[in-house]
């Protein structure tokens, strides 16, 4: 849909990045730190987070590491309680892909619970502090989704791991759409955008010994791009003067690699009724803004 040039990332302002210890998240953190942003790495592994933070451009002590496990909603609330400053950009980058049925600490299907619900709660809790935008890393895998709003945690249906992952990525886009609609309706200057990194050589495609690789696992070593390239759509979404609700992805190879531009979403990702209903269900599933 045409190339789009990146704008200026925030200088001397704070950016939160989830899952910034490796892959696309780390590459995003490095690039934004190079532009002068102060980075808060929201990560599960504090040791890995600290090891990354000390390598980021900037003076010692500029960047911080705070614990966050998106599969444990209590830690999401704890993280939000630690934030008492303006946040220019929230980058919802962390994600998981599972090959069998697993559940979060709160009982949700792992991929939906981590990729969508954890970020949904995090964003709604941090929204009063956000001054510029929310960027959520989604995926064109959303085109393979068949989201069942009456069985989001896969209690009734035979489990399909790849379909559950696609559902979580569709949920990311529906969330972005509804969040941006709510922001515009309220008159807020904050906007919500989404990014598709393309095919990237990251740990999400690693498989335990003995586990049979799928088609994507075989393609990544051959066609996958480096994390620094996979971060380009996130960086464009974080810096360019794009309208809210925009989806950014690679330019080439059917949006699988190469640069970044505005790309299209599937019809189901653009359904406002589904987006609004998913928001309401997500509020109930996370008890957003409350503690048990």
Residues with catalytic function: 165
Question: Which of 192, 143, 178 shows the shortest CA–CA distance to 283?
Answer: 178
- Closest by CA position to 203, among listed 53, 6, 24: 24
Q: Single out the residue of 176, 183, 141, 138 nearest to residue 162, CA to CA.
A: 141
Distance CA 229, CA 218 (A): 19
The half-sphere exposure of 111 on its side-chain side, counting CA atoms within 13 A, is: 24
Residues facing 14 on adjacent strands: 38
Burial class (CB in 10 A: 0-12, 13-18, 19+), 182: middle
Q: Are 3 and 261 within 8 A, CB to CB? A: yes
- Residue whose tokens read 């987070």: 49
The residues, ordered by sequence, that sit 6+ positions from 278 with a Cβ below 8 Å of its Cβ are: 147, 149, 171, 174, 175, 178
């Amino acid at each position: 849909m045409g190339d789009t040039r990146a704008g200026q990332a925030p200088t001397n302002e704070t950016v939160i990045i989830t899952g910034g210890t490796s892959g696309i998240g780390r590459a995003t953190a490095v690039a934004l730190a190079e532009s002068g942003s102060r980075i808060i790495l929201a990560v599960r592994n504090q040791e890995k987070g600290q090891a990354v933070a000390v390598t980021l451009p900037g003076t010692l002590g500029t960047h911080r590491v705070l614990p966050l496990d998106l599969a444990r909603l209590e830690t999401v609330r704890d993280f939000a309680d630690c934030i008492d400053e303006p946040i220019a950009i929230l980058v919802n980058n962390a994600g998981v892909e599972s090959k069998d049925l697993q559940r979060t600490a709160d009982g949700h299907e792992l991929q939906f619970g981590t990729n969508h619900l954890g970020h949904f709660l995090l964003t709604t809790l941090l929204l009063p502090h956000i001054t510029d935008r929310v960027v959520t890393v989604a995926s064109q895998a959303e085109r393979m989704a068949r989201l069942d709003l009456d069985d989001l945690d896969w209690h009734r249906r035979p489990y399909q791991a790849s379909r559950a992952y696609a559902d979580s990525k569709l949920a990311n886009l529906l969330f972005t759409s509804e969040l941006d609609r709510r922001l515009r309706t309220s008159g807020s200057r904050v906007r919500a955008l989404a990014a598709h990194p393309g095919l990237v050589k990251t740990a999400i495609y690693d498989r335990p010994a003995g586990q049979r690789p799928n088609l994507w696992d075989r393609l990544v070593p051959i066609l996958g791009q480096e994390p620094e390239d996979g971060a380009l759509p996130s960086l464009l979404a974080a810096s360019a003067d794009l309208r809210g609700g925009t989806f950014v992805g690679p330019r080439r190879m059917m949006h699988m690699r190469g640069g970044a531009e505005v790309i299209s979403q599937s019809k189901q990702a653009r359904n406002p009724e589904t987006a609004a209903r998913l928001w309401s269900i997500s509020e109930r599933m996370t008890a957003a803004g409350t503690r048990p």
